[in-house]
Amino acid sequence: MTEPFTQADDARKELIAADHAEGRLDVWLAAELEGEFSRNRVKALIEQGAVEVNGATITEPKRKIRPGDTVTIVLPEPEDPEPQGEDIPLEVLYEDDDLIVISKPAGLVVHPGAGNWTGTLVNALIHHCGDSLSGIGGVRRPGIVHRLDKETSGVMVVAKNDLAHRHLADQFADHGRTGPLERAYQAVVWGRPRNLHGTIDAPLGRAHDRTRRAVKRHEGGDAREAITHYEVMERYGENPDATCLASLVECRLETGRTHQIRVHMAHIGHPLIGDPEYGGSYRTKANRLPEPARTIVNTLHRQALHAYLLAFEHPATGEVMHFEAPIPEDMETILEALRSL
């Protein structure tokens, strides 16, 4: 077992191949570094001339390792990020040398992309974290391991270094099936699901519009498993036939697909209030609300979805950490209006 390899080690580590060592250099080195770097990252470092074997620089990843070889790896200085840091206010819930936990507001895009090359969470984190970002894949940037839609608010964790990035990414890939990862959301939906709690198991894939997702009949092609567990927490405007105008629903993810909660709740006939993509046909339901609830709902310009809870294992200490973010003001205003019905 090797000590974690970070820039704080003066970016240099020397390893001695054991008596039973064999196989490709990149495979052996990735295993020796205990998952701190992916094999692709190790391969890239070798090709960049950052690895020596017995004092000679090796640029061929498939070079065979031999018992007794002395392998030295030198991390290059992290490159400056392509996105530039921007002084965008952040609500920081927790921060240390390995990660940062923030409460993302609605309206903030997570990652730069087409139409949003600036003003994103990544730009804000580069500015906020500064030199505490030791490099993800050799670039001084934050490690995004999960995302929230632009108009979804709530708790997010972001890695500051390769080791934290890989550990957190593995937890999110496992979806909490074997570890402590936990993700819970609050959603305000139209109507009330027939069952007060249940599971939506419906594969998701691309719709005709590449930015949208849709429920698919079977997995396959671009369709991937998607499972959402829900529980109705509050009901508003109940009728004698047990139907109601709207509900507050807690959703917990067993998988983490793009737009998963939004698509799944629309699939069972209860889209999120304010969702322009998957609940647009339900907007006229607001006309059934008395004032001021009608006006408040009509002026909500985003889906009523908030990631209020996140739990995970700290990648360095092993401690299970829990974070909660209170429901934001715009959603709380809607809830207060609906509770008065």
CATH number of the structural domain 183-312+327-339: 3.30.2350.10
C-alpha torsion angle, residues 249, 252, 254, 257 (rounded to 10): 70
Report the topology of domain 92-174: Pseudouridine synthase (3.30.2350)
Tokens 């906020």 sit at which residue?
128
pLDDT classification of 8: cutoffs 50, 70, 90: very low
Q: Mean pLDDT across the chain, nearest whole number?
A: 88
Alpha carbons 185 and 251: distance in angstroms, whole number: 5
Tell me: pLDDT of 220 over 80.
no
pLDDT classification of 37: cutoffs 50, 70, 90: confident
Find the mean pLDDT for residues 45-73.
90
pLDDT classification of 323: cutoffs 50, 70, 90: very high
* 149 flagged as catalytic: yes
Beta-carbon neighbour count of residue 246 at 10 Å? Answer: 28
88-125 tens-digit pLDDT: 999 999 999 999 999 999 999 998 876 677 899 999 99
Lowest mean pLDDT among 35-39, 81-85, 175-179: 35-39
Alpha carbons 128 and 167: distance in angstroms, whole number: 22
Global pTM reads: 0.76
Do 183-312+327-339 and 92-174 have the same topology in CATH?
yes
The one catalytic residue in 149, 162, 275, 330 is 149
pLDDT classification of 297: cutoffs 50, 70, 90: very high
Residue 190 is encoded by which pair of tokens? Answer: 């139209």
CATH number of the structural domain 7-74: 3.10.290.10
Domain boundaries, the chain: 7-74, 92-174, 183-312+327-339
Cα 138 to Cα 33, 119, 141, 316, 323, distances in angstroms: 16, 23, 9, 20, 29
pLDDT for res 22:
87
Look at 282 and 312; give whichever has higher pLDDT: 312
